[in-house]
Amino acid sequence: MLRDHGRFAYSAIVDRPDYTWPDGKRLAFYLALNLEHFAYGEGLGISMSPGIPHPNTYNWAWREYGNRVGVWRLIELFDSLDLPVSVLLNSAVYDHCPEVVAALRKRGDEIVGHGRTNSEHQNEFDEAGEAALIREATEAFRRNEGKAPAGWLSPGVNPSEITPDLLQEAGYSYILDWPMDDQPVWMKTRGGHLLSLPYAHEVNDIPMIMLHHGGAGAFADMIVEHFGEMLEQSARQPLVYNVSIHAFIVGHPYRLRHLRRALEHIVAHRDRVWIATAGEIARYYATEIAKPPR
């Protein structure tokens, strides 16, 4: 037998119970905006100039563009579309550029835990170190927002083997680290259960644009085509569609223009799609569809 994670059993999407999202809708959509801050000269994260030794000012400044310029252009776009956003936030952003978080807070956007900084990965820590990382980040979120986040995405989407256990024990209710389904899935933890919510590993600007070298227009086309197909498939099974973006990538003007086209297409279908935040979707599923297994 192959080694298994033991978190959940195999389940074919065609064999599951049927249900609907609010107002009888079959497709739920949420937009995830990753806001990150990196240590200067310490690596990690996607590189615009691979192979250049650190300190790599060119690479750090490219990513900082998202915090100084890109995110403000994106906020203008979200406002124009009346589009709620799930903000996957490094807690270091509170110290680096609190004005950005304040603007998103004013919009009523959801704050989702995304570690302290993307300059570190949870998979590099022992259990005590990872627990301290989660605790420190959570305290920063609670101190600034008045409450802890409900959800978490590990920096670099690189959780350790025990990340779900530590998150559930720290009070989190859902995780975005396991992109294995188009529906929420309950995961076993050593202390109970944690809900895994679908998170885009392909309709995501980092793999599409930075790793696969797709153009801004191709990324927008991907968003639209994925949406159209999922809308058709949702007649057979209720689904969750997520698009994941980073301010330092799609916040550049020529990419923003194409992103606007794609998001305008989605919001034009509000009558058929539940446009929500990740937390709203997770909460509805856990309270109205399938409570945590005993």
Q: Is residue 142 part of a domain?
A: yes
pLDDT number for residue 294: 82
Lowest mean pLDDT among 42-56, 116-130, 263-277: 42-56
Query: Whole domain around residue 65: which residue ranges?
Result: 20-38+53-289
pLDDT number for residue 191: 96
Q: In three state form, how does the secondary structure of the chain look?
A: CCCCCCCCCCCCHHHCCCCCCHHHCCEEEEEEEEECCCCCCCCCCCCCCCCCCCCCHHHHHHHHHHHHHHHHHHHHHHHHHCCCCEEEECCCHHHHCHHHHHHHHHHCCEEEECCCCCCCCHHHCCHHHHHHHHHHHHHHHHHHHCCCCCEECCHHHCCCCCHHHHHHHCCCCEECCCCCCCCCEEEEECCEEEEECCCCCCCEHHHHHHHCCCCHHHHHHHHHHHHHHHHHHCCCCCEEEEEEEEHHHHCCHHHHHHHHHHHHHHHCCCCCEEECCHHHHHHHHHHHHCCCCC
State which amino acid sits at residue 105: R
Q: Is residue 227 part of a domain?
A: yes
Mean of pLDDT over the chain: 95
Q: Is residue 46 part of a domain?
A: no
Q: Is residue 14 part of a domain?
A: no
Report whether pLDDT(49) > 90.
no
Q: Is residue 95 part of a domain?
A: yes
Instruction: State both tokens at 87.
Output: 């903000």
Q: Is residue 82 part of a domain?
A: yes
Q: How far apart are CA 127 and CA 150, in angstroms?
A: 21
Query: Please, are residues 155 and 128 in contact by the beta-carbon 8 Å criterion?
Result: no
CATH, residue 214 = 3.20.20.370
pLDDT number for residue 42: 79
Please state the domain count of the chain. 1
pLDDT number for residue 268: 98
Average pLDDT (21-36) is 98
Q: Is residue 15 part of a domain?
A: no
Q: Is residue 150 part of a domain?
A: yes
